């Protein structure tokens, strides 16, 4: 997703987007939540870069709700996508809930990088909330 071939890969993913939607739909209909969760967890950065916030968040939220007992690492990655998309849409309350769940999973797994990332994101959300509140107070 990042690097000198980013444009090529983004174009490929965009071209395959209808097929990816079909695969995500199938995962939900077939009761293959873990498969859908892995796919959606891999796609969230594509959705962010291409501005598919609502679509990506919808897929991630639905699959997270229906994924059952998916592996903690897979769930944590999908949560990272869902919380990033919620944050970009200004839904700080939901983003906080998702980041906190991801943080708990990273702690359970002992993943220091994931712990640090989730803590930083929670701090960023808190700062963005304060900035928004200050802006609203100054412009009332």
pLDDT per residue as tens digits for the range 4-32: 888 888 889 989 999 999 999 999 999 88
Say what the pLDDT of residue 9 is.
Answer: 87
What percentage of the chain carries pLDDT values higher than 90? 73
Q: Count structural domains, the chain.
A: 1
Residue 46 near residue 13 (C-beta atoms within 8 A): yes
In a domain, 74, yes or no: yes
Say what the pLDDT of residue 7 is.
Answer: 83
Structure tokens at 92: 């700080």
- What is the residue range of 101's domain? 6-138
Q: Print pLDDT tens along the chain (140 aa).
A: 678 888 888 889 989 999 999 999 999 999 888 899 999 999 999 999 999 999 999 999 999 998 877 789 999 999 999 999 999 999 999 999 999 999 999 999 999 999 999 999 999 999 998 888 888 888 87
In a domain, 52, yes or no: yes
Cβ contacts of residue 16 below 8 Å, gap of 6+? none
In a domain, 133, yes or no: yes
State the pTM of this model.
0.86
In a domain, 84, yes or no: yes
In a domain, 1, yes or no: no
Cβ contacts of residue 33 below 8 Å, gap of 6+? 27, 63, 66, 67, 68, 70
In a domain, 109, yes or no: yes
How far apart (Å, rounded) are the C-alpha atoms in residues 97 and 118? 11
Q: Looking at residue 23, which CATH number applies to its domain?
A: 1.25.40.10
In a domain, 38, yes or no: yes
């Amino acid at each position: 997703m990042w690097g000198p071939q980013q444009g090529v890969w983004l174009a490929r993913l965009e071209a395959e987007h209808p097929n990816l939607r079909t695969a995500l739909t199938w995962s939900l209909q077939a009761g293959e939540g873990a498969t859908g969760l892995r796919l959606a967890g891999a796609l969230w950065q594509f959705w962010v870069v291409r501005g598919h916030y609502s679509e990506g968040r919808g897929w991630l939220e639905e699959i997270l709700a229906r994924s059952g007992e998916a592996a903690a690492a897979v769930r944590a990655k999908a949560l990272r996508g869902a919380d990033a998309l919620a944050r970009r849409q200004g839904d700080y309350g939901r983003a906080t809930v998702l980041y906190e769940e991801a943080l708990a999973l990273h702690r359970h797994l002992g993943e220091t990088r994931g712990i640090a990332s989730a803590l930083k994101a929670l701090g960023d959300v808190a700062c963005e909330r304060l900035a928004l509140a200050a802006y609203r107070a100054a412009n009332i």
